[in-house]
Chain A
Amino acid sequence: MNAQPMIQMMDVRKSFGAQEVLRGVNLSIFEGKTTVIVGESGQGKSLIIKHILGLMKPTSGKILVEGKDINTISRKELKEIRADFGVLFQHAALFDSMTVFENVALPLRERTKASEAEIRNKVAEMLALMDLDGSGEKYPAQISGGMRKRVGLARALVLNPKIVFFDEPTTGLDIAKSNEIYRVFFRTQTKLGYTSVIVSHDVPKIFKLADYVALLYNGVIQDCISPEDFQTSENPVIREFVEKTMGHIYESERMEG
């Protein structure tokens, strides 16, 4: 990890009233890599993403995206930085009064000067990439949870972002649907080469996609290391998390050395 990080969180703290949720988060995200943030529910994993996106302001600390502190830059600069982002929200956050096609076309219509024909082609291409051909005219309420996530992903990727954030991409989906999302993720990342930040508690499956795994525990990032190092870490907190989530797999690996 000796390259310059694309995103850097430095001693970020966030309190809600008397409750301090983030207690000095330090995290670096590197270009072209997939960083997975894991941790138990309610630890504040999604808060980390919201802070990087500039949707929340930290109580203290700095968040640098491409070298710029997103809490001190102007709205215009923030907008420019966000133009490089793609976000898949936990519940997809699709515009429910728009069709699938209109949802995916929205960033193209509002942010580019593409003609209607170009927009149609690009949206069709994205929907095909997500195995959503033929669903363009449906509304979000008329499609399944897995399809909604894929539409969210199509919308997030339609402008070829540099950094894509996934907030619990497989929560609420069955195993087959989760695998489908992972396959789509793998396919698109290989094709588009974006940096990704994934918040998930789908352990150990998510390790297969990760270049780095960071554990958020008690408001602090315990370590941000490769999945292999994570599973054999001597850090007692990480070890406990791995034992809890992976159980016998971890134990047998440790015994086998």
Chain B
Amino acid sequence: MTRILNTVGGLTLYYVNQAGRMGIFLAFVVYNIIKLPYYKVTHVIKQIYIIGTLSVFVIVFTGAFTGMVLALQGYNTLSKFGSEGLIGSVVALSLIRELGPVLAALMVTGRAGSAICAEIGIMRISEQIDALECMAIDPHKYIMAPKFIAALVSVPLLTAVFNVVGIFGGYIVGVKLMGANEGAFFTSMYRDVEFADIYMGFIKSVCFALLIVWICAAKGYYVHMERSGGFGAEGVSRVTTSAVVLSSVSILVLDYIITSLLI
């Protein structure tokens, strides 16, 4: 009994500690983003290239196929009711409100989030972060701030690319392949998509960007404090996996919360 209580108590303390650490980490990064002197623009541009530009291919690819499959499924269902004309609206609304922000965020987590976590984790275990601190260079400003800004800029743009490519994919399958009316495709989309839908998608993508970079960067930064032992390459690989899983799950949970608040 005492052992069970010990384990439960230990776990509770660990997770409360971890939540506190991550909260303080976020506060330090936000403080360093707004505090003068500002980080160097070149650092931010480099990170936008790593997080944003290098993710474009995977975003275009997944966006196109998501739009295509949405059109395929949508056409088959809508044609039963003779409403194939609504296919444009179905594809666009599904992408802009839900699938675009969520899938783009999941892709960025897998491609850039894991890289952020592993990079920072390796810097931590090889004492590079200690070296920065000893040089009186704040890692929150030098490493984290550019990554946070880059993610906040890149993810909404990648989401927009995902949506546009997805709608184009939907157009190819719905109109060119399945034979839905081209005019009806665009008219229904133009009629049904409102500013509130785009606003919801934008808010989601900004929140997901913050969530991904926060979880992945903090997990890497505190790799040495992991309960399961954050040592060496194995520790970094374990923490990277855990960062990707936690980010992905959190994206889906946050998606539900934002949708329920904004709908």
Contacts and interface: CB of A to CB of B under 8 A. Distances in A.
Interface string B122-149: 0100111011011111100010000000
13 contacts: A50-B130, A53-B130, A53-B133, A55-B133, A80-B136, A85-B136, A89-B127, A93-B127, A93-B131, A94-B131, A110-B135, A111-B136, A111-B137
Given A91-B126, A91-B127, A107 B135 contact: yes
A110 B137 contact: yes
- What are the 4 closest A-B residue pairs judged by CB atoms, nearest first? A93-B127, A93-B131, A82-B136, A87-B134
A106 interface: yes
Contacts of A110: 135, 137, 142
A83 interface: yes
Interface in A89-147: 89-91, 93-96, 106-107, 110-111
Contacts of B136: 79-80, 82-83, 85, 111
Interface in A208-227: none
Contacts of A85: 134-136
Chain B interface residue number, banded: 10 to 19
Interface string A38-70: 000000000000100111000000000000000
Contacts of B142: 110
Instruction: Give the interface residue-count category, chain A.
Output: 20 to 34
Contacts of A96: 126, 128
A143 to B, nearest CB: 16
Nearest to B141: A110
Interface in B215-244: none
Contact of A89 (B123, B131, B137, B138): B131
A98 to B, nearest CB: 10
Nearest to A56: B130
A107 B134 contact: no
A89 B123 CA distance: 13
B137 A95 contact: no
B127 A79 contact: no
A93 B128 contact: yes
B130 A93 contact: yes
A93 B126 contact: yes
A53 B128 contact: no
Interface of A: 50, 53-55, 79-80, 82-83, 85, 87, 89-91, 93-96, 106-107, 110-111, 155
B148 to A, nearest CB: 18
Contact of A107 (B123, B133, B137): B137
B24 to A, nearest CB: 12
Contacts of A90: 127
B227 to A, nearest CB: 13
B135 A53 contact: no
Given A80-B136, A82-B136, A96-B126, 7 more contacts: A54-B133, A55-B133, A85-B134, A94-B128, A95-B131, A96-B128, A111-B137
A87 B138 contact: no
Contact of A87 (B123, B126, B131, B137): B131
Contact of B130 (A55, A79, A80): A55
Interface in B97-141: 123, 126-128, 130-131, 133-138
A89 to B, nearest CB: 5
Contacts of B123: 95
A89 B130 contact: yes
B136 to A, nearest CB: 4
A91 B123 CA distance: 13
Nearest to B129: A93
Nearest to A98: B128
Contacts of B138: 79
B207 to A, nearest CB: 28
Contacts of A55: 130, 133-134
Contact of A95 (B128, B133, B134): B128
Contacts of A54: 133
B176 to A, nearest CB: 46
Contact of A106 (B126, B133, B134, B135): B135
Nearest to B28: A75
A54 B138 CA distance: 13
A106 B130 contact: no
Nearest to A55: B130
A249 to B, nearest CB: 34
B117 to A, nearest CB: 16
A90 B134 CA distance: 14
A95 B138 CA distance: 15
Contacts of A111: 135-137
A106 B131 CA distance: 11
A106 B142 CA distance: 11
